Structure 1
Amino acid sequence: MKKHLLIVALFALTVGAKAQQKSAADSLMSAMSKDEKPVPVAIFKSTRLVLSQTTEMVKKNEFNFQIIHRFGDIAGSNGGGQTAFGIDRVNDVFFGFEYGVSDNFNVDLGRSTIGQLIQLELKYALVHQTSDGSSPLAVTLLGEAGVQPYQQSTFTTMSSRMSYLAQAIIAHSFNGALSLQVSPTYLRQNTAFPISPANTEQSFFALQAAARIKLTNHTGFIVDYAHPFSDFRKNTYDFQDPLGFGYEVETGGHVFTVNITNANSISEMNMLARSQQRYSRGQYRIGFTISRMFDFNGSHKKMKE
């Protein structure tokens, strides 16, 4: 069923993009007659959703500070009133710093509680969706390198501490009311998690898919899902596909998202490799993301929704 949902999302994204491209001839001629240049479309409100990163970029000389938090289980044996439905427990905290070297190139640095993972990320906007339909899709390339600097008894060499992730994020906005994206992903862990049994995969592919439904000009509802294509990470090994739901609010320079997900981990490197929590066992949790943008340009180019 989950694989079918991914296929449906891919199909809807492709068909919708083609339809908008075909219907854009009139708007393109109109734009030309007014001597206007195509404007990049803001497909999402932020660079992150619940599980996924988006095609959105931090503009040149802007700085985005993010705090992402995941609490403990709401229900099940580790939740309930004894832990204030998970509020008493902290599963993961992520601090992220995103800087726009240019409008199309970002350098990001982040740190997660789980594994004490420190990650450096390079993000490049290859193609923008444009307001005249001449480019129906946005495509952003993302590369990450992560290191776990502690746990010396487990990681005996610098190489054994490293992980790598490569991702292509493909997105489309349907007139601002609905935004869809898919993200083919490759993950490599030099020390595979879990360390035992011996057949744990060091490398595997995954696919993430997400949707944002516009509720008002400043709010939206998010669905976010990830599926690792891994023979090891099947139900026989108690691994689960991450799935999250979020409510997003934009207030001035802040974007705030409150969400519920079964994923403990925030970083894609940890989330794709480590997710073992089930909704059916009450192993879902409240989380939130706070994003605060600082503009050092003195002027700001507004993207069209």
Structure 2
Amino acid sequence: MKNKILSILLGLLVCTNLFAQEETAGVKEKDKPVRFAWESGMLIDQQTSQISTAKTLEMVIQHKFGSIDNGSSDLWGIYAPAGNIRLGLNYVVANNVQIGWGISRRNMYNDFNAKWTILEQTRKNKVPVFVTVYANAAIDGMDRDDLELYNYDMPYARSRFNLKSRMSYFAELIIGRKVTNALSVQGAVSFSHANFVPQWQDHDRVGLHFNGRLKVSPQGAIIFNFDAPLQIDDLSEQNPGWTSENTPGWDGPYHPEPNLSFGYEVSTSTHAFQIYMGNSQAMLLQDMMINNYNGIDFDNFAIGFTITRLWSF
């Protein structure tokens, strides 16, 4: 009797094991998101699809020195009085959703932003690209006495320069791909709007962006950004026939210049340090897309750096 019972139990055990193996073989391996397409949520001035795990706080420090055109007299812009700084904090409130705040030296902009990675590229290419949306709203903290820089009638401009006039906005759709273990690229289309601009500028601007990162060592990578404001006549408020001769104070028509930045990134699991050169002094993307007066010329380039630091809670 004991032998019969042992034979039955052994048979049941073998059958159960075979059934479990068949069940496991029938389950498809989960297609997980790719890892380390970017080492940071920022690439110089631009956003990336990278969002850390939920309950992560990211600190951002951005600094741009003056242009290098004076050479060694001001240490190629490092000791120049012109420059820009932005300090920011970003918090991941949920999986792939981040909110943030920052303040810039230029015009004392306060910006409030949000980023959402809608789709993540997967390792088996079930999803071949990542898709991210980013938007911000900024408040211009410029002193009213500085409005003379805009060639406006001062009493009129001061009376209109309220909170609504100080607002500007930026939104973009980012699509990218980790092409190889070393190369990641992304492109974006953006829309910028500023409520208050000089009379020779447009309130609205559509832009295109192209950014990339090429790893050259386990912790190092070559990085670049290219940001191009588009000239769309149907969107423009400018009259090309207007000149300073028949319109006092007119200094246009004006179209912003594209921005080119390139540099090197060093990263760890919690830090990313990027040093670069670029021809725009702006930190905020809408400021760059609307107000960049510096063309892509050697003398207009300035040294800058971006540092990010992560804390998990």
When normalised by structure 2's length, the TM-score is: 0.77
> Aligned equivalents of 2:88 and 2:223: distance in 1?
21
Larger radius of gyration: 2
> Aligned equivalents of 1:281 and 1:224: distance in 2?
16
Query: CA offsets, 1:246-283, max 9 Å, x none?
Result: 10011341100000111111110211112122343511
Q: Which residue is 2:75 aligned to?
A: 84
Query: CA offsets, 1:102-154, max 9 Å, x none?
Result: 12110011111111111000111110001111000100111111101342354
Q: Which amino acid counterpart does residue 137 of structure 1 have in structure 2?
A: V
> Aligned equivalents of 1:260 and 1:293: distance in 2?
24
Give 1:12-91 correspondences, 5 Å limit: 35-41=28-34, 42-75=36-69, 79-89=70-80, 90-91=82-83
> Aligned equivalents of 1:33 and 1:250: distance in 2?
40
1:196 is aligned to 2:199: yes
Q: Between the two proteins, what is the percent identity of the paired residues?
A: 25
When normalised by structure 1's length, the TM-score is: 0.79
Residue aligned with 1:88, SS: coil
> Aligned equivalents of 1:150 and 1:276: distance in 2?
18
Deviation at 1:50, TM superposition (A): 1.9
The answer on whether the counterparts of 1:253 and 1:293 sit within 8 Å (CA) in structure 2 is yes
Give 1:77-156 correspondences, 5 Å limit: 79-89=70-80, 90-153=82-145, 154=147, 156=161
Q: Which residue is 2:182 aligned to?
A: 177
Q: Which amino acid counterpart does residue 33 of structure 2 have in structure 1?
A: P
Deviation at 1:239, TM superposition (A): 3.8
Higher relative contact order (CA 8 A, sep 6+): 1
> Aligned equivalents of 1:188 and 1:85: distance in 2?
33
When residues 281 and 35 of structure 1 are mapped into structure 2, their CA distance, relative to the original with a 3 A threshold, is closer
The answer on whether the counterparts of 2:176 and 2:187 sit within 8 Å (CA) in structure 1 is yes
Q: Once structures 1 and 2 are overlaid, which stretch shifts more, 64-73 or 249-258?
A: 249-258
Q: Which residue is 1:213 aligned to?
A: 214
When residues 236 and 152 of structure 1 are mapped into structure 2, their CA distance, relative to the original with a 3 A threshold, is closer
When residues 265 and 32 of structure 1 are mapped into structure 2, their CA distance, relative to the original with a 3 A threshold, is farther
Q: Which amino acid counterpart does residue 297 of structure 2 have in structure 1?
A: S
> Aligned equivalents of 1:168 and 1:238: distance in 2?
23
Q: Once structures 1 and 2 are overlaid, which stretch shifts more, 153-162 or 44-53?
A: 153-162
Deviation at 1:45, TM superposition (A): 0.8
The answer on whether the counterparts of 2:257 and 2:293 sit within 8 Å (CA) in structure 1 is yes
Q: Once structures 1 and 2 are overlaid, which stretch shifts more, 117-126 or 153-162?
A: 153-162
